[in-house]
């Protein structure tokens, strides 16, 4: 049991990293990773929203949609729930902790249409995880996202300082750099299974 959870956590952080091997949440990864503090803010917000979204969508799927035979309403219900949750979270943070809102609040509206959040909610259902496993997998995906963001922001600050050939300026070189990080993560594939064999 405990072992299963650890395997889920580690593999979603390192092996099936949402950004670097499953290509979910690429937009914020490329867009908001320019500075370290932005990267951390975005990563933490995404992790929080992922956990919250899973905590709500998992019961909705199993207690409401499946029981009523409305499984096909999944995408539409999930995206609305996520949008509403994000809105609520922003309102609550704004009211109770203006300081936190100044730090994280700005990233929240961007998360509604972040495919990593909807992706993790749907994947937890398709993978047949139970509630606890789903929560752990969401945590792993969020932390994986944070890790990728933080690593990449470091790389980007170096790129910004260097002389890049004309056509590669901007997004092209950013993508190629991301490719190398992804390559590094590919080396971790299989390591989790082997450790726990």
Partner 1 sequence: MSKNNNCMSVLTNGIIKENPVFILILGTCPTLATTNNVVGAFGMGIAALAVLFCSNILISLLRHIIPDSVRIPCYIVIIAGFVTIVQMLVQAFFPELYKMLGVYLALITVNCIILGRAEMFASKNSVIRSGLDGLGMGIGFTLALTAMATIREVFGSASFAGISIPFLENYKIEFLVKAPGGMLVYGLLIALVYALTHGKAPMKKSFSCATCPSAAYCNTAACKKEEEGDK
Partner 2 sequence: MIKSVKSTFVLVSICAVIAVMLALTNYITAPIIIKNENAAANDALLEVLPDGGDFEKLDISTFTLPSTVTDAYSAKNGGYVFKLTTTGYSSGFVIMCGINADGTVSGAKCLSSTETLGFEKTYGKELVGKNSESIETVDTISGATKTTAAYRSAVKDALNSAIILGGGSVDIRTEEEILLDNLSSALPSAEGKFSKLFITEVLEGIDAVYTADNGMGSVCVVGEDFIGVDSEINVISDVSAEMAENISSQLKNLFASKATEISIADYDGLPSALLSASKTESGNYILDLKGAGYGINGGNEYHPASGEYIYICVSMTKDGKIIDCLTVSEEETDGIGSVCADEKFYGQFVGKTEENYGDIDAISGATITTDGYKTAILRAFQSVKILEGGQG
Q: Which residues bind partner 2 (CB under 8 A)?
A: 72-73, 76
Spell out the residues 6+ positions from residue 115 whose beta carbon is closer than 8 angstroms to its own. 24, 25, 27
Q: Which is nearer to partner 2, 76 or 175 (CB)?
A: 76
Whole-number Å distance between alpha carbons of 4 and 6: 5
Q: Which is nearer to partner 2, 46 or 65 (CB)?
A: 65
Q: What is the dihedral of CA 5, 8, 13, 18, to 10 degrees?
A: -140
Residue 57 binds which entry of partner 1, partner 2, none, with Cβ cut-offs from 5 to 8 Å by kind? none
CB of 73 to partner 2, least distance (A): 6
Residue 91 binds which entry of partner 1, partner 2, none, with Cβ cut-offs from 5 to 8 Å by kind? none
Residue 128 binds which entry of partner 2, partner 1, none, with Cβ cut-offs from 5 to 8 Å by kind? none
Buried/exposed 45-54: b ≥16 CB within 10 Å, e otherwise: bbbbbbbbbb
Among 88, 92, 172, 195, contact with partner 1 (rule: CB under 8 A): 172
């Amino acid at each position: 049991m405990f072992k299963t959870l650890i395997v889920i956590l580690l593999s979603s952080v390192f092996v099936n990293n949402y950004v670097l091997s499953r290509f979910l949440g690429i937009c914020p990864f490329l867009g908001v990773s320019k500075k370290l503090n932005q990267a951390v803010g975005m990563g933490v917000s995404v992790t929080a929203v992922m956990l919250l979204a899973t905590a709500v969508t998992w019961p909705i799927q199993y207690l409401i949609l499946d029981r009523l035979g409305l499984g096909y309403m999944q995408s539409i219900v999930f995206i609305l729930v996520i949008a509403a949750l994000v809105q609520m979270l922003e309102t609550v943070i704004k009211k109770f902790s203006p300081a936190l809102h100044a730090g994280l609040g700005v990233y929240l509206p961007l998360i509604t249409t972040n495919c990593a959040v909807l992706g993790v909610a749907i994947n937890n259902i398709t993978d047949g995880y139970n509630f606890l496993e789903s929560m752990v997998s969401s945590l792993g995906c969020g932390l994986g996202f944070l890790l990728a963001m933080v690593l990449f922001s470091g790389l980007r600050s170096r790129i910004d300082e260097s002389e890049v050939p004309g056509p590669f300026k901007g997004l092209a070189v950013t993508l190629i750099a991301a490719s190398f990080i992804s390559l590094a993560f590919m080396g971790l594939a299989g390591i989790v299974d082997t450790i726990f064999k």
